[in-house]
Structure 1
Amino acid sequence: MSPGGIAGCGAAKPQDQGWAWMVLLATVLLQGLTLGYPSCIGVFFTDLQREFQASNSETSWFPSIMVAVLHGGGPLCSILVKRFGCRFVVMLGGLLSSVGMVSSSFCRSIGQLYLTAGFITGLGSCFSFQAGVTVLGYYFVRWRTLANAIASTGVALGFTLWPLLSQYLLDEMGWRNTFLIFGGILLNGCVCGAIMRPVQLVSGSPRQSPPAEEPGRRAEGAQLSNGASSPHPELRQQSRRTTCFQTLQKYLAFDIFCQNKGYQIYAVGVTWMMMGFVLPHVYLVPYAIQNGVEERRAALLVSITGFINIFMRPLTGLLSGHSIFTGRRIYLFSLAALLCGLSNFICVISAEFSVLIVYCIIFSIAASGIGALFFQVLMDVVEMDRFSSALGLFTILESITLLIGPPLTGLLVDITSNFLYVFYASSFFLISAALFMGLSFCTLEKKNKSKDASKVPLDNPSKYQYNEIPTEPRSESQSPPAVVTSI
């Protein structure tokens, strides 16, 4: 048996069975430790403002940097996954997340918090989360939709438990000691990474493949070697530029973005949507506290959102996996974003605790649809062997709006002293993004149907239309490339 724990013979099919379910369990925990973690930052918002004498805009940069780096570090994560494998990258992410939170407990200024808890912890969470999502796509083929939905319940568990734990520890020992304890909790990402054995699907090969050298690095070495014998420095410089461009295209999927209309629409729509999607998570607790809700009850609002997501995400995954939704998951996703945007108007009506509970229930039902379908729709519009690269460009685009959204809204709150503008802004971005994606895919689908089938190249139709990846297990000759990781 290979070091990865899967027999290296050509008949081995580890997908959808055996150790794949342990990997799924590890991914559930991992998503709770990474994507679920920023949900508790709102609990510390008021204390951090008092500690560092910071405004709403200045304080909101802390969670913004964390979430933006968590999503925007995708290209770097993709490079590390290609070079060292998913297991190594997940464990590295767990270590960085822990170091960032431990360091943040000693911060003496809000700027230091940006670096430690914001950048370092965000980067670690990015490595763990995105590498975990990537390896899950190789372990599951037939049940991939269900696996992604179940994995996303980890985020819901994080939404439920992190705020409650945060409020308890904050009351008992203050934010500094709480951050120190969080550093130890986030170190469990290393344990999750250790469970993620490499997938070995090399036909006829009795051994595990060694870590593959990146094609870009091999090409670079060959070109530099050839360039060294060339008497013209201009040729060597041009060769380096070409290699650099090829590497960027490989890991940022520029070719997919230029050729795949479905990927273009989805990437732009989600990037715009994220400008408003994250705002309620950051400002709901401060908004409730400002309107007289007790701090413990305000933290409970976020936990209610997470608790409902635990049940709704798998249900959404099962529903979207039905054959009737084949090729139509993007419309479910757009509908969920639309409902999310409309639900924000409930907060405008009243800030009473009972009304906010109703808001959290409706918002969480809609958000569970977004969470369950977020990566599945991306896997639908791009081929699985390019998923890691497509995810890299996808996340770096949305990280821009994730970074600037909360601080800009916080600045608006500082000027107006009115948190209602947070929910107005969130509704605008969510509703407009939902309409854009739904109508654009509908238009694209009609154009594709009106085209003559002979005009569509048969070798790569995914470049021109919205396609579903196969739902049946692939044959050995069609199996995805092995995910090679360190032992």
Structure 2
Amino acid sequence: MPQALERAEGCWAWVVLLAAVVTQGLTLGFPTCIGIFFTELQREFQANNSETSWFPSILTAMLHAGGPLCSILVGRFGCRATVMVGGVLASLGMVASSFCRTLGQLYLTAGFFTGLGLCFGFQSTITVLGFYFTRRRALANAVASVGVSLGITLWPLLARHLLEELGWRGTFLVFGGVFLHCCICGAILRPMAPSMAPAPREGPSVPSKTPAPGCLAACGRAILRHLAFDILWHNAGYRVFTLGVTWMILGFPLPQVFLVPFAMQHGVDEHKAALLISIIGFSNIFLRPMAGLVAGRQNFARYRKYLFSLAVLLNGLTNLVCAVSANFRVLVVYCLVYSVSMSVVGALFFQVLMDVVPMDRFSRALGLCTILESFSILISPPMAGFVLDNTDSNFSYVFYMSSFFLISAALFMGGSFCALQKKERQGRPAEAEAAVPESAPLRTLGREDTGSPEKRPCTEEIMYVTSV
């Protein structure tokens, strides 16, 4: 462990990067294969679209909402233990779900527990990369994002094959064993900062004097420390980004959940329908790292917010294709264009957040943003399922709804960022004009009183105005 501390970006850092690639493929890539089980779960539990949609929504919501809890565990026990706990939790959730008899039990096991375990896995690996990589952090994050693309590519194919051979219960049981590989990846993560653990231990010393108020105060301080409500109130750029992303998420995950049942409803073979999600993931293998590296260049720093809004707009416009045609070749083209916009959105998300929020507050800002995202993710698929139940399973309305949320969010963010930048440009000349009239008379007075005993006080006033 001391050797790891001494050599950041050493040889072991690349082993950690490989573990991060595998972990992100296992965790972030998994929700994309849930749509393959949609029809089977409906048939098994005799449920409608809205009831079945709660399963992927709870799973994905917990994948994002567990961020603050994950950060507390990382600070207390380190990234290695948190990833291993997440792997065990996700595995137990999937194994228990294979014995479920009601949808409510499935919500709790595969939705809540598995989603929380996946959150512990992927967020801890993102954190540990920040310790192991400093100079090459952009490259490390771009390479780690390849794992997400690999997961999106391989999970649907594996799920389709296992579903045919073992059924959904046997498939979920196998998935429980697959998630145990997160424990192996977690064991590789040698902690870079052993001093992380003592910091949170100072918290329990407060309740010893006043037990009940101390506990409440400690909980309040923990919530305020990990959630950036103050930044949301004072930072206009962060407010625009958070509100825009929260609205965008209402439509962003819908194609990944409903694309497979939509294709199967229109006569596309089951294997070809599962292949559509894999096409999106395979394209992301190349597009996401490229987008991340290009977005990390300083030349694009001024335009990242507008490129992000443009990518969201393209994503929304692309979804309108599914409302027009369900031909397999058309859907393949749709998946390729969709993967381009999806890659840019994924690559620019963290970069834009870093641009609008100072780095010392980034973790808190990210925690609040993921919490708000989780609420949108939680209600988005059930809302789409409600639309399907009331339109005789017409999937075109789902893609219309997705396009509406994405396009409106893109226009809101793009217009708001433009207005904020224009306001900032107008504010700078006003400040400069306000400073010039104050400094000019003082400088003139200094020149006229050259050699006089009153020169020194004038110089001090000039220095004060200049510093302001």
TM superposition score normalised by structure 1: 0.84
1:376 deviates by 2.8
The farther-off stretch of 257-266 and 168-177 is 257-266
Aligned partner of residue 4 in structure 2, secondary structure = coil
The whole-number CA distance in structure 2 between the counterparts of 1:13 and 1:438 is: 42
> Which residue of 185, 205, 209 corresponds with 1:192?
185
CA contact (8 A) 2:260 2:276 kept: yes
1:242 deviates by 4.2
The whole-number CA distance in structure 1 between the counterparts of 2:336 and 2:262 is: 17
Alignment of 1:23 onto 2:40: no
1:282 deviates by 0.5
CA contact (8 A) 1:145 1:376 kept: no
1:226 deviates by 4.6
Alignment of 1:178 onto 2:189: no
Of structures 1 and 2, the larger Rg is shown by 2
CA contact (8 A) 1:45 1:286 kept: yes
The whole-number CA distance in structure 1 between the counterparts of 2:210 and 2:99 is: 50
1:76-131: per-residue Cα shift (whole Å, max 9, x none)?
11211121121211111111111111111111111111111111100000111111
The whole-number CA distance in structure 1 between the counterparts of 2:130 and 2:352 is: 13
The whole-number CA distance in structure 1 between the counterparts of 2:167 and 2:210 is: 60
The whole-number CA distance in structure 2 between the counterparts of 1:324 and 1:371 is: 19
1:213 deviates by 3.4
Aligned partner of residue 199 in structure 1, secondary structure = coil
Q: Does the C-alpha gap of structure 1 residues 186 and 113 become closer, same or farther in structure 2, counting only changes over 3 Å?
A: same
1:274-293 equivalence runs, <5 A = 274-293=249-268
Paired AA for residue 230 in structure 2: D
> Which residue of 347, 370, 376 corresponds with 1:372?
347
The whole-number CA distance in structure 2 between the counterparts of 1:392 and 1:41 is: 25
Alignment of 1:163 onto 2:147: no
Alignment of 1:428 onto 2:414: no
Q: Does the C-alpha gap of structure 1 residues 439 and 125 become closer, same or farther in structure 2, counting only changes over 3 Å?
A: same
> Which residue of 83, 90, 93 corresponds with 1:97?
90
Runs of 4+, deviation exceeding 4 Å: 225-228, 239-242, 453-456
1:27 deviates by 1.4
The farther-off stretch of 366-375 and 306-315 is 366-375
The whole-number CA distance in structure 2 between the counterparts of 1:118 and 1:248 is: 24
Q: Residue in 1 aligned with 2:448?
A: none
Q: Residue in 1 aligned with 2:198?
A: 212
Aligned partner of residue 251 in structure 2, secondary structure = helix
> Which residue of 330, 333, 340 corresponds with 2:305?
330
The farther-off stretch of 87-96 and 22-31 is 22-31
The whole-number CA distance in structure 2 between the counterparts of 1:21 and 1:380 is: 27
- Higher relative contact order structure (alpha carbons within 8 Å, sequence separation ≥ 6): 1
1:25-57: per-residue Cα shift (whole Å, max 9, x none)?
211111111110011111111111111111111
1:7-406 equivalence runs, <5 A = 7=5, 12=6, 14=8, 16-200=9-193, 208-209=194-195, 211-214=197-200, 218=202, 221-222=205-206, 224-227=207-210, 237=213, 241-406=216-381
Paired AA for residue 80 in structure 1: L
Count of matched residue pairs: 431
The whole-number CA distance in structure 2 between the counterparts of 1:82 and 1:64 is: 28
Paired AA for residue 209 in structure 1: S
Paired AA for residue 427 in structure 1: S
The whole-number CA distance in structure 2 between the counterparts of 1:20 and 1:439 is: 41
Q: Does the C-alpha gap of structure 1 residues 118 and 99 become closer, same or farther in structure 2, counting only changes over 3 Å?
A: same
More helix by share: 2
> Which residue of 389, 400, 406 corresponds with 1:414?
389
The whole-number CA distance in structure 2 between the counterparts of 1:213 and 1:250 is: 13
Task: Provide the alpha-carbon RMSD of the alignment.
Answer: 2.1
Q: Does the C-alpha gap of structure 1 residues 119 and 167 become closer, same or farther in structure 2, counting only changes over 3 Å?
A: same
Aligned partner of residue 202 in structure 2, secondary structure = helix
1:232-277: per-residue Cα shift (whole Å, max 9, x none)?
xxxx74x655443322110112222223222222211111111000
Q: Residue in 2 aligned with 1:485?
A: none
Paired AA for residue 261 in structure 2: P
The whole-number CA distance in structure 2 between the counterparts of 1:262 and 1:210 is: 31
1:323 deviates by 2.1
1:322 deviates by 2.1
The whole-number CA distance in structure 2 between the counterparts of 1:118 and 1:433 is: 27
The whole-number CA distance in structure 2 between the counterparts of 1:171 and 1:241 is: 51
1:448 deviates by 2.3
Paired AA for residue 299 in structure 1: A
Q: Does the C-alpha gap of structure 1 residues 159 and 227 become closer, same or farther in structure 2, counting only changes over 3 Å?
A: closer
Percent identical residues: 60
Aligned partner of residue 80 in structure 1, secondary structure = helix
> Where does structure 2 lack aligned partners over 5 or more consecutive residues?
433-468
CA contact (8 A) 1:137 1:384 kept: no
Q: Residue in 2 aligned with 1:442?
A: 418
The farther-off stretch of 428-437 and 141-150 is 141-150
